Amino acid sequence: MVGPAAALCLLGAAVHAAAPNPNGPTQVYKWVDDKGVLHYGDSVPAEYAQNERSVLNAQGVEIRHIDGRKSASQQAEQSQADQLARERAQHDQFLLSTYLSAKDIEQLRDERLAQVDGQIKASMTYIDSLGARLTALQERAAHFKPYSDDPNAHRMPDDLAEDLAHTANETRSQRQALDAKRKEQADMRAQFEADIQRYRELTARSHS
């Protein structure tokens, strides 16, 4: 890589070689080759035409920057970053156009969380009732084969076996749904907190 002093010499030589002409101001290109060596000139060699480069005026001041050709992975990353930026800008606009103050967001947060909390409490009550029913069924099933130790015990009635299996499956399903509802509540709380913080940043910036 060319050192600062050498770079200045190269720049001076390039600007001198590309002296101003009547048609307009002279432009000097700055680029780095494959070995990392810095170059200045009034044109970029064809083999480096797709590389990142800068355009300088006659005084050596950068007036334009040209990005180099990106690889497929770099293009995908840039596309994803651009999409995230667009989504962030849209959400910022939504916050500013929907709410008059952070307290509005806090009020909506409390209302939504209260709704989910009510659903969670109802689910817990239902699960408790299922648990009580399952316990009663298990106590009945203990008198029949295969749960009873009595060699003379009868085979469990089909309706009892079906009811036992159904209640056990329903209990398991409701517990999974309860876990999902609790996660939804936690995610909702986190999203509202992020929105409140972002809204405060946006409004503080607009008032500064």
Per-position DSSP letters for 74-105, written without gaps between them: HHHHHHHHHHHHHHHHHHHHHHHHH-SSHHHH
Q: What is the pLDDT of residue 87?
A: 95
141 in the same domain as 77 = no
107 in the same domain as 51 = no
93 in the same domain as 31 = no
Position of tokens 């106590």?
A: 139
Q: pLDDT by residue for the chain (208 residues), tens digit each?
A: 444 444 444 445 554 444 444 454 468 888 788 788 888 888 888 787 777 888 888 777 888 887 767 667 867 888 899 899 999 999 999 999 999 999 999 999 999 999 999 999 999 999 999 999 999 999 999 999 999 999 999 999 999 999 999 999 999 999 999 999 999 999 999 999 999 999 999 999 766 6
75 in the same domain as 142 = no
Question: Hey, what are 190's tokens?
Answer: 């986190």
Question: Whole domain around residue 28: which residue ranges?
Answer: 4-66
120 in the same domain as 145 = yes
Q: Which of 99, 115, 140 represents a domain boundary (last residue)?
A: 99
Count how many domains the chain has.
3
199 in the same domain as 169 = yes
